[in-house]
Structure 1
Amino acid sequence: MADSEQANSPELPLEEYRMLVECSNDIATITKPNGEITYVSPSVRRVLGYEPEELIGEIGYDYQHPSDCERTAEAFEALEADPETPQAVETRFRRADGSWCWIEATIRKYPGTDDGQRILVNSRDVTGRKRRDEEMQTLAREYRTLLENVQDAIFLVGVEHSERDVEFRFERLSPSYESTTGLTTEEFKGKTPREVFGEEVGAEVEANYRRCVERCEPITYQEELPMPEGTIAWQTKLAPVGVSGEVSQIIGIARNITELRDHEQQLTEQRDNLDILNQVLRHDIRNELQLVTAYANTIADRVEGDDLTYVETIQESAERAVKLTETARDMSEVMLTDTSNLREVDLQIVLNRVLRDVRSTHSDVIITEEGSVPSDTVLANDMLDSVFHNLLTNAVHHNDQDVPEVSVTASEREDSIVVRVADNGPGVPDSQKETVFGKGERGLDSPGTGLGLYLVESLVDIYGGDVWIEDNEPHGAIFVVELRKVQ
């Protein structure tokens, strides 16, 4: 029976065995217990650059990195103590060109011998693998450093796929996550979102995780999660980590935006309140003042002497109050202005409309328009009228000449249009050319001319433009407004 099995066992011709040894990427080496090389396969040429004959009779330890010799010697000693158990060792071996490569070697007794004087070493070059391992270890160290020091909260979620569904389990929390939430990795690890946050919130969390897995791409969203320290609002970004086309892990980066959210809610409430105030100024108070003016006008026709003086004072005060509500209304409009709602505005139409309105209410003032207004549009909104209406009325009201004169000119630059409103009044001292707009001391007690010019500066700033004052010759001031053109 044994003869039959031996006869049927496959055997390779000697030449084929030789070819296998020569073509193998592994190096087969036979040594004595002291490390003396008695045989080395031809593949040593390809792997290490030596001719086999160069190494015969050499001591293998002499070609190893000094730091690795002890580890290799221990492997030989272990084999001597237990000849039936192969030993594995990784060592650096010097190539023929003097460079070092990592060798993974398996050491065993030579088959068919019992004297222990012949040892078979099969080794292969693992330099590439070692380099990749070192790179991964470096990345792991950098990752740990990032995880432990980044301010944003980081969490890792394992993704387990089954035939029916995908299951998510928390793996790790960064120190910043733990300090922000009061939770620890030990409390989270191995648990599903439903186990951590409860059924309802956990289902919402899992829905976002599932969306990330299905899209196989990063997603960003906002969420609110109950924590021991209270509910926290997060801006969360999930990034999938895939192996062989299948997501196996999710890396989450979450930023605590609770204070920002509360601040935004407060701003929204303030905007709503300001909008209500604007409506009151626009309608209720203005209507009441107009009613006072109407009654005063009626009484003025029926009284004389001191009584007429009192009525005229009422009329003047009511008129000033109306103008004040108009300015306050405009200021509330400025505060409610959203810069994303700016649009193209025809500057020529705006200036013509404002000049016509101011001329109709100030017939005793000479108002001229020098040259033509460029036909380009500027970036602004419906409040642009208020800019030039305030500048023109300011030039009229603060003019000390018997015949006030105001001129308006417009010129074009490469990216902007510049409008100049010049008057023949007393001018503005250099020390007040900035404070006149109420910068630093805003409100009715401003050292400037009141809220009108502050409104001008605020609107022009919203439009991304600029406003300043120059001296007019021989006297007076020039208020200059530069507005961005719409390309």
Structure 2
Amino acid sequence: MSSFFRARPTVWRLGAAGFISLLGVVLVVPTIAHLIALQGPLSGLVVAGVGSLVAAVLVAAGFLLYWADLTGAHLLRIAGWATLGTVLLGLVITLIVFAGIDLPVYAAATLLSVSTFAHVLIGVRDVQRIRAEELARQREQLAVLNRIVRHNLRQVAQRLLGVGGRLPHVEDDARAELGDDIEGIATDLTEMNEMLDRSRAVIDTDRAGESVVNLTQTIEDVAAKYRDAHPNAAIETDFGGKYHVRGGDHLRDALAELVENAIVHAETTPHVTIAANARGGRVIVEIADRGPGIPESERAVIMREAEIDQLTHSQGLGLWFVRWVMDTYDGDIEIESDRSGGTTVRLELPLAQP
């Protein structure tokens, strides 16, 4: 999670928890006033007593939630549920009053207290569900990182052992070739480290820190970057309009990763098409190539159609990185691969207003 929302105390945590307590304070006033006045039948005093108790619990809930192990985004979500409960029942009470039905203020406050507290509980359960999903994703991410990094490190270790075995017997004219091998190993290790850093960054990303991203411009920038880096590659873009989505810098990195994979793994002259179209409030981005395709076993694991323990082969962390970026930005990924006709990676993201 973003340190902006994780830190305690923060304005967001204080504001969300304080708002819940403030609702309790506002709602407890009319019920307490009725109890102090000792007016009306016993049933009215009982109702006011229940309202006072529930409102007091709301005040305490705000304090408890502030010190709970929750992020600012989680507390904002719970406060949103509390607001929903107050507003919805408040509208119902308003309609009742306009209909000419006499509803004492203390009774209305009691109803609002109960509704608000019930929605706070709904919000807590909702946050628990979200945290469970987040933990499941983190376990998946750690398992994938563990398997792929161990696999890649074993490969690098074997290459280093091979180079070490050649050192005592290398001739002067073969030293340049040996140096190239060592340089290649160093490059692979550097790229692995960079990908691990990017993967860690996207795992730690908090969706509350998102901004509106000009998707069309981002795609054009990525395409221009790889046209300059690979003049022999044909990179085409096709847009059905100008689109904005909610996301962050990792979205650009994910698009770049897909384009780079398509170019690097091409068996002939690289040809990549990036198309974007809107449908049903979502933007569909398709990155298609004419490469060798992705093994079905690897595709199935990335698409969560198979267990991670079946991950026996991987081209690296690239596609997993894209998977996790889509998870972070409320997106989805679909992979269609044909060993004879290339691969199409389809990304789906929610539209946003610029």
1:311 alignment partner, one of 174, 179, 185: 179
- Correspondence 1:431-470 to 2 at 5 A: 432-436=298-302, 447-470=313-336
Change (3 A) 1:340 1:425: same
Which AA in structure 2 matches 1:485?
L
Structure (1/2) with the larger helix percentage: 2
Name the counterpart of 1:400.
267
| Structure 1: unaligned runs, 5 residues or longer | 1-160, 163-211, 225-231, 234-243, 246-250, 275-302
Q: TM-score by structure 2 length?
A: 0.51
Cα distance between partner residues in 1 of 2:191 and 2:305: 22
Superposed displacement of residue 439, structure 1: 6.6
User: Is the CA contact (8 Å cut-off) linking 2:293 and 2:339 kept in structure 1?
Assistant: no
Change (3 A) 1:304 1:352: farther
Change (3 A) 1:374 1:323: farther
Is 1:330–2:198 an aligned residue pair?
yes
- Correspondence 1:54-93 to 2 at 5 A: none
Superposed displacement of residue 455, structure 1: 0.9
Which AA in structure 2 matches 1:324?
M
Name the counterpart of 2:59.
219
SS of the residue aligned with 2:330? Answer: coil
Superposed displacement of residue 412, structure 1: 2.1
Q: Deviations over 1:148-197 (max 9, x none)?
A: xxxxxxxxxxxxx99xxxxxxxxxxxxxxxxxxxxxxxxxxxxxxxxxxx
Q: Deviations over 1:224-254 (max 9, x none)?
A: 8xxxxxxx99xxxxxxxxxx97xxxxx999x
Work out which of the two has the higher radius of gyration on C-alpha atoms and give 1 or 2.
1
CA RMSD of aligned residues (A): 4.9
Is 1:417–2:283 an aligned residue pair?
yes
SS of the residue aligned with 1:400? Answer: coil
Name the counterpart of 2:155.
none
Name the counterpart of 2:258.
391
Is 1:369–2:236 an aligned residue pair?
yes
Change (3 A) 1:418 1:326: same
Name the counterpart of 1:480.
346
Cα distance between partner residues in 1 of 2:274 and 2:180: 33
Identity of aligned residues (%): 24
Q: Deviations over 1:197-218 (max 9, x none)?
A: xxxxxxxxxxxxxxx68x8895
User: Is the CA contact (8 Å cut-off) linking 2:292 and 2:340 kept in structure 1?
Assistant: no
User: Is the CA contact (8 Å cut-off) linking 2:203 and 2:324 kept in structure 1?
Assistant: no
Cα distance between partner residues in 1 of 2:292 and 2:329: 29
Name the counterpart of 1:192.
none
Q: Which has the higher contact order (CA 8 A, sep 6+)?
A: 2
User: Is the CA contact (8 Å cut-off) linking 1:422 and 1:472 kept in structure 2?
Assistant: no
Superposed displacement of residue 372, structure 1: 3.2
Name the counterpart of 2:215.
347
Superposed displacement of residue 360, structure 1: 3.2
SS of the residue aligned with 1:418? Answer: strand
Change (3 A) 1:223 1:461: closer
SS of the residue aligned with 2:346? Answer: strand
The runs of 4+ residues in structure 1 deviating greater than 4 Å are 215-218, 429-432, 436-443, 471-474
Change (3 A) 1:446 1:352: farther
Change (3 A) 1:332 1:439: farther
Which AA in structure 2 matches 1:462?
T
User: Is the CA contact (8 Å cut-off) linking 1:437 and 1:448 kept in structure 2?
Assistant: no
